[in-house]
Amino acid sequence: MIQKQLTLLVFFVGISIFGYGQKAPGYLGKRLSIGGNFQLSPAILNPNNNGNKGFFKFNTQFGVTAEYATNRHASILLHYQTYSTLKDYDEEVVFFDLNNNYYDNSKLFGDLKVASYGFELRSYSESIAPYGYYLGIGLNYKVIELTQPMAFSSTTLVNRPQNDSPYTMINLNLTLGKQRIYLNKIIVSTGINIGIPLEFSKLNLLSTSEDDFTYNESDHVQKRIVLHDLLNFKIGVRYLLF
């Protein structure tokens, strides 16, 4: 299934890059722009990096982007994003410390650090790229590192041995936005991004045993990132080079 989706995306990349019958692509003949962006996602069901949840609490992420107009009405965008957040859940889990002592805990949390690499294809059907309204579709590859989490038990605070093997995730991204150009050089981009998970895995488990904690950790790390990437509001500023 994933292979088919990737094949379709590669097909559309080819159409976008090698479009025929187009004249003077880019804004005033300029195709390439480079800059950064800032994204916000609501921290309603899970905490943000400060451990806060609520309707007016947000996760943040920052990134760098480069967009290239492949023809008058299409472009391809490459981006790198990074952010930190917390995973947090309330339920009974099996937990072990450095001496393999087991505990039943009701609260578990830990820092998640995420690096995201991706591309996006954009269509400017009613304007000349990179100006105006656009629709975008793309893929993100995420590397998710879980720092050493801690759990509160009824008697003591214990640490779980850190697993240095990160999780990975592939997301399908759908974007709707608008770009304005000021002074013929400065691009201001605003939009909404929806992330749809396609694949989630771990590069190397701490152990091969199928214990309860391994499943709990994997499930909740995945849930945390899915909720974080589900809906993002973004704004970016780029400089139109040439």
User: What gap in Å lies between CA 126 and CA 56, rounded to an integer?
Assistant: 35
Find out whether 30 and 242 touch, Cβ atoms under 8 Å: yes
Torsion of CA 188, 190, 196, 201, to 10 degrees: 40
pLDDT at position 53, please?
Answer: 73
Which of 53-57, 97-101, 129-133 is most confident? 129-133
Judged against a pLDDT cut of 90, whether residue 191 lies above it is answered with yes
Highest mean pLDDT of the ranges 125-129, 162-166, 171-175: 171-175
The one-character DSSP state at 120 is E
The helix/strand count (H/E) of the chain reads as 2, 12
User: Is 2-240 a domain of CATH 2.70.70.10?
Assistant: no
3-state SS, residue 241: coil
- Tens of pLDDT, residue by residue over 201-240, are 654 433 334 444 444 567 777 778 888 888 899 999 999 9
Percent of the chain with pLDDT over 70: 64
Residue 172, pLDDT score: 94
Q: What's the rounded mean pLDDT across residues 154-162?
A: 46
Distance CA 34, CA 38 (A): 14
Specify the higher pLDDT residue, 34 or 146. Answer: 34
pLDDT digits (tens, 9 = 90+) for 171-183: 999 999 999 999 9
Asked if the model's pLDDT at residue 116 lies above 90, the reply is yes
Per-range mean pLDDT, top range of 77-91, 110-124, 147-161:
110-124
How far is the C-alpha of 227 from the C-alpha of 59, rounded, in Å?
Answer: 10
Q: Which residues of 155-180 are buried (b: 16+ CB within 10 A; e: fewer)?
A: eeebebeebeebbebbbbbebebebe
